[in-house]
Structure 1
Amino acid sequence: MDWPLVIEFIRQRDPAFLSRVEGVPAAAVAALAAGRGVTLPVSYVEFLRRMGVNSNGYAPFGSMQDHCFAAISERLDDEDAAPAGRFFPVAIETDPSMVVLYDHCLDLQRSDGDDAPLVMLEQGVSLELQTPVETHETFGERITASVFNHFALRRLARREVVSVGGGTLQAGGGRAALQRALVLLQRAGFAPVLPLSGRVACLQAGPLSVYARVNDNYELLTLRLGGDDPRAVTALVEQLLTDLPGARRPAGPRHRD
């Protein structure tokens, strides 16, 4: 994961944000990993180092998932709740109204050293009695998507959604649809502004923004579009519906303001 690119993206859109975040000392992160006998992916270590104490309102897993280093350390100290060495918690569910509480965890067995897939584990239930819930994204992909939404997409006046697939594509069809969408968008002047992966792309062209994500489980490509000019957003939607095979508007409101 290209953390310098992510940080520069944030700096350009919210210069004051980075002055109000607080990271975890590298020695503390290393001590925690050593104490658990695990090797953490670089993308997660860098996240902790940059904003693991205070992320200034940025919540990559949602407002009710506590990703702070203190919460992670506390969970790992709870021997009844701490998962085995393969799974390392990165966000703790804190909503007491939920009937079932799920934490987000890294699957370290599938880590490539830089990144790792995310799964969800139910709190208070032994690993022998549950199956990890796949989120079909990596930690780096979650950070990329949430940064783009927090600092760009959610601030725009007009937002739309276009999708491809979801039961109509063969295996690998979602990723193939993403590649076709990227070609179309780049021809229209869009360029990636955050790290690309096989499942996630964040692009901009002037005042227009596009977040694209593939859900491998459903072979579904979802494109979230945004801009402050409703006409420009509508024109982009129409272009995608015309030129991207299988593109459609999901059922529901035509636009999301």
Structure 2
Amino acid sequence: MRDAEDSLSRDGQGLEPPTHVAVIMDGNGRWAKARGLPRTAGHKKGVDAVRRTVEAARELGIGYLTIFSFSSENWRRPEEEVSDLMSLLRFYLRSEIAELHKAGVRLRVIGDRSRLSDDIIRLIDNAEQLTAGNRVMTLVVALSYGSRQEIAAAARRLAEEVAAGRLDPAAIDEAALSARLYTADIPDPDLIIRTSGEQRISNFLLWQAAYAELVFVDTLWPDFTKRDLEAAIEEFHRRERRFGATTASR
């Protein structure tokens, strides 16, 4: 991996990277099916794509990369597939954390951990503690994550604080709710990429994505490369971001 300062502009693209890029990784199953392979093979190739994308994001100078690895709805998949995905997660947490730490990458995991096994929770806790001081890039893994559930839980915490007399209802605003989300200390995404040609965000960062640019690419996740990431960033820079305001020319 190259130094974090090696941004898009230094790679000859003439563009500064977004601060926060989020990715909905889709297409593992279709990748495997097209090759006559079991879905597990697609998920394994998807792990390779995660590795490539983390490295590419760091090389391009992206400060935060969030990957949607397992949704709250994914628990409804066949038990065997869920078990295989959890095994891959264990493998990643055991095999990749030392390299992430060496590269200066901080790991954050967001989502509902109550449904995860104790050994996976321990692996996550250890990885987060080991990398907590790293500042080159933050890798956010959305795991057992659903945005509606996240917002509901934040609202519930606000209600509990009001009921306990610790919070004035009049003080509840957007900032108050944002401070109680999993991402309270993480900037909102500038760019959300979804692979495999699907054009929806599937209960992912709904609150945080209010002003994110959405880029949908046909590439299946196992085939996603640094060039795909660069192309999405180039598309991001072609957009006019007004955050609800109008420009003088309009």
Fold conserved between structures, TM > 0.5: no
Q: TM-score range by the shorter chain?
A: under 0.3
Higher relative contact order (CA closer than 8 Å, sequence separation 6+):
2
TM-score between both structures, scaled by the size of structure 1: 0.27
Greater strand fraction, Structure 1 or Structure 2? 1
Structure with the bigger percentage of helix: 2
